[in-house]
Amino acid sequence: MSKSDIFHSLPESARDALSKQDFPSSPSPMLAKLTDRRFSDDDWLFERKFDGERCLGLKEGDRVRLLSRNGEELNDSYPELAEAIESCRRERLVVDGEIVAFSGDVTSFSKLQRRMGIEDPDRARESDVAVYYYLFDVLHIDGYDTTDLPLRQRKRLLRDAIDFEDPLRFTAHRNAEGKAYYQEACRKGWEGIIAKRADSGYVHSRSANWLKFKCVNQQEFVIGGYTDPEGERIGFGALLVGYYADSDLKYAGKVGTGYDNETLKKLSGRLQSLERETPPFADEKLPRSRVHWVTPKLVAEVAFTEWTEDGKLRHPRFRGLRRDKEPEEVVREKTDTG
C-alpha cells in the first residue's frame, strides 16, 4: 500500500509534513494530568475514561507486541488481542488504547484482575473473562511517524487503518460538551472522562493537553505492610499503603475493604514472601499493633472518598494490584488547577 492510500484523508500540508521514521521499539505512552476543573470547549474533545490496563500495540510484519505502560509484554495474558492486531491490514503500526473487561455496562478493573494474573496463553483463552481493546490513538503507520499530527487527524487515521471488530473497538468521543459528558459519565457509574486538546500532538510523557475528569477518587499506592486478620477474616486484615515524596515513602493509611477471599489468599502469600523487620515508611507515627512490614514492591489501585487534613485516605477501598507502574513512580496525584 502506498503512502497516499492511508493518508489521503489528511490535508496536503499534513501529508507533506509527515516524516519517515524507524519503527519505534519501545515507545512510552502519553499520560493525562488530573484536574478538578470541568469545562466545555470547542477546541477540546472528550473520551470515556476506562477502568482497565493501558496498552500500546506494536505490529511489525508478523510480529506483534502488546506493551504495558512500563514496557511489560502482555501478549500471554491477552493472546486474542495480539491476534486481532496481527490481522490488521497495515504492515507496521503502533496504536494506543486500554484493555478492559466489563461487569454489566461498566468496565471493571477488579474483573480484569482475573486475566492479568494469567501468564499462559492457553489458560488465558479458556478464561471466562472476555476482554476488549479500546483504541484511541495511533503513533506510527507503515514507516511514518504520526505523533506530530493534530489529534483529530490521528483519530481519523486510526479509523482508516483498522477494521474495528471485537475484540478491537474504536474509542468514540464527544466534541465541545465536556461538562455534560462528565455528568453523564458519573450517572452511568463510569470512572470519568478524558479531555484532550483537539489540535495537540502526541508526546511520550504526562501533558496538560490531556486532562482527567474523575467521578471517583482513586490512584495507585505502594504496599508497605499489612495487619493480622481478625474474627473470621482470612489472609490479612488491612494493607498499609503509601506514596513517594522525593525518596521517602509516606504513609497514607490502612485499606481494609474491597477484598474477596480469593484475593485475600493469593495476596497474603505474596505479602509473606516480602516480609522485613523494619517499616519502609519514613513517618514516625505508624500503626504498631499486629503489623507486618514488607519490602515495597507491590502497587495497589485504591479508591477513596477524599484526603484528610493530615494526609491520610478517608474510606479507602482496594481495587486490585497494578503491574504497569513501578513503586518508585507512585506519588500523590495532584490536581491541575490552571
49 flagged as catalytic: yes
Q: Show the DSSP H helices in 10-108 as ranges.
A: 12-17, 79-86
Count CA within 13 A, CB hemisphere, residue 139: 22
- Residues 36 and 72 sit within 8 Å (Cβ to Cβ): no
Instruction: Answer for the pair 320, 301: CB distance below 8 angstroms, yes or no.
Output: yes
Cα 164 to Cα 75: distance, rounded to the nearest angstrom: 19
| Amino acid in position 291 | V
**DSSP H stretches of helix in the chain:** 3-7, 12-17, 79-86, 109-116, 121-126, 151-161, 178-187, 261-273
Measured CA to CA, the distance from residue 31 to residue 23 in angstroms comes to 21
Calpha distance 239→258 (Å, rounded): 11
Q: Which of 290, 316, 313 is nearest to 233 (CA)?
A: 290
- DSSP readout, 136-190? EEEEEETTEE-TTS-HHHHHHHHHHH----TTEEE--EEES-HHHHHHHHHHTT-
Q: Single out the residue of 319, 327, 267, 251 nearest to residue 296, CA to CA.
A: 327
Residue 307's Cβ-side half-sphere holds a number of Cα atoms within 13 Å equal to: 12
Q: Provide φ and ψ at 80, rounded to 5°.
A: -70, -30
The span from the first CA to the last CA of the chain, in angstroms, equals 44
State the catalytic residue, choosing from 49, 59, 155, 214: 49
- Catalogue the active-site residues: 49
